[in-house]
Amino acid sequence: QYLGREDSPALIKVTLYSLNDPFCAFPVGSIRGLDGGTGGESTARLRHGSRCRLRPPGKSDTFRMRVYEPATLLDTVIHDGVEVKR
């Protein structure tokens, strides 16, 4: 659940990456050669008070999660590199 403060962004993006992706270049499930590319839900956009459930594809149970403030060209990293588990 996104419980932002008054000065927090109105919208954030939460994305899961493989622990083998040191640059966080490809969300889990986005490239067939890396993890099977079976789809799934490894990215979500949240507004204040909203919540989501991520369902990444594959057999891995551990991921790296990054939180961004969405932007037109390049999203701004708000929080970098929390390890999360299913």
User: Residues 32-65: pLDDT tens digits?
Assistant: 555 444 456 889 999 999 999 998 888 899 999 9
Cβ proximity of 17 and 28 under 8 Å: yes
Mean pLDDT of the residues in the chain: 86
Question: Which residue did the predictor score with more confidence, 43 or 81?
Answer: 43
**Rounded CA separation 19/1 (Å):** 23
Question: Which residue did the predictor score with more confidence, 29 or 8?
Answer: 8
Is the dihedral angle over the CA atoms 14, 32, 55, 83 positive or is it negative?
negative
